[in-house]
Amino acid sequence: MEHDAVSQNYGSGQVLDRIQAGLRQLGKSPGSVTIEDLAAVDEFHIGGRQASEDLLAQLGLSVADRVLDIGCGLGGTARLLASRYRCRVSGVDRTAEYVATARALCAWTGLSGQTEFCQADAARLPFGADAFDAACMLHVGMNIDDKAALWSEVHRVLRSGARFGIYDVMRIAEGSLAYPVPWAADAAASHLHSPQAYRQALQECGFSVVAERNRRDFALDFFSRMRAQLAAAAGPPALGLHLLMGASTGARMQNIISGVSAGLVAPVEFIVQKRR
């Protein structure tokens, strides 16, 4: 049931068509689009491209690295990794439409040779032990209740000493969060845990915490700038997260903004390392 709820929340059957229509509004085509053009729609997490750059900069990546992108969505982070760091990237996601769209967008941007994507459960990764030099996961844990199983799988596929970057929305205070939110239509599909719970489970699964950062202030600034841009525009942008969330975009965004503003939830970063 959890798998179905996640797929239903994210898959619409029309994502690639909507992106192509948005590109036409921008005077772009699959032959001319860049990863910068796509950032507004394929960075499906609070803070967008800046949040991705901030997280990835802490992983100590090199050209020789093979990186795992867990819950890769449309492949935005994977394309950033492949373009900026020249890494080889494997992305996994439970939503089949997102996997297909990620492949198409990588073909459009000339990054198919450095990226691969597959539909898979993050707690049952289709890779051998010690296969990756680093891993990242952005706004994925909120859809997974058994995080210990997830951390154990990530630990298994990482080599000794490898870093794992996590950027999730976490519960920082008690109180009722209004739904829908970007990752879930209702509370039954949402699995928010506290930073303390993340830290304990990660350590128990064999990781050492290198860094931890609450990004609430960053999120509030991002929301403020987003509102200002929307107020100044004549309508929604050609490319944006509304292409993924559809008619419920306004309600989902307002509810997460309210939750962060009220101090109930916040995006939090963890950088952890597999113990040798």
Confidence of residue 230 (pLDDT cuts 50, 70, 90): confident
pLDDT at position 9 is 47
The 3-class SS string of the chain reads: CHHHHHHHHHCCCCHHHHHHHHHHHCCCCCCCCCHHHHHHHHCCCCCHHHHHHHHHCCCCCCCCCEEEEECCCCCHHHHHHHHHHCCEEEEEECCHHHHHHHHHHHHHCCCHHHEEEEECCCCCCCCCCCCEEEEEEECCHHHCCCHHHHHHHHHHHEEEEEEEEEEEEEECCCCCCCCCECCECCHHHCCCCCHHHHHHHHHHCCEEEEEEEECHHHHHHHHHHHHHHHHHCCCCCCCCCHHHHHHHHHHHHHHHHHHHHCCCEEEEEEEEEECC
Name the pTM for this structure: 0.94
Number of other residues whose CB lies within 10 A of the CB of residue 124: 10
Residue 7 has pLDDT above 60, yes or no: no
pLDDT at position 236 is 85
Confidence of residue 139 (pLDDT cuts 50, 70, 90): very high
Confidence of residue 160 (pLDDT cuts 50, 70, 90): very high
Residue 5 has pLDDT above 90, yes or no: no
Residue 87 has pLDDT above 80, yes or no: yes
Residue 11 has pLDDT above 60, yes or no: no
**More reliable by pLDDT, 236 or 114:** 114
Q: What is the radius of gyration, based on Cα positions, of the chain?
A: 18
pLDDT at position 13 is 65
* Distance of alpha carbon 243 from alpha carbon 22, whole angstroms: 9
Residue 4 has pLDDT above 70, yes or no: no
Q: What's the domain count of the chain?
A: 1
CATH label of the domain that carries residue 194: 3.40.50.150
The whole-number average pLDDT for the span 228-236 is: 84
Residue 276 has pLDDT above 80, yes or no: no
Nearest alpha-carbon partner for 170 in 197, 152, 151, 148? 197
- Which of 30-34, 220-224, 238-242, 271-275 has the lowest average pLDDT? 238-242
Whether the CB-CB separation of 157 and 220 falls below 8 Å is answered with no
For the chain, the average pLDDT equals 94
Confidence of residue 28 (pLDDT cuts 50, 70, 90): very high
Q: Which tokens belong to 146?
A: 């058994």
pLDDT at position 89 is 98
Q: In sequence order, which residues have a C-beta less than 8 Å from that of residue 51 and are 6 or more positions away? A: 43, 45, 138, 167, 215, 218, 222, 267
Distances (CA, A) of 116 to 46, 49, 69, 78, 246: 25, 21, 10, 9, 27
Question: 254: left (phi > 0), else alpha (psi -120 to 50), else beta?
Answer: alpha
* Distance of alpha carbon 64 from alpha carbon 87, whole angstroms: 6
The whole-number average pLDDT for the span 145-161 is: 97
The whole-number average pLDDT for the span 164-184 is: 97
- Which of 60-69, 204-213, 222-231 has the lowest average pLDDT? 222-231
Question: First CA to last CA across the chain, in angstroms?
Answer: 36
Q: How far is CA 89 from the centre of its chain?
A: 14
pLDDT at position 1 is 39
The whole-number average pLDDT for the span 30-53 is: 94
Nearest alpha-carbon partner for 115 in 151, 156, 85? 85
Range of the domain at 168: 2-274
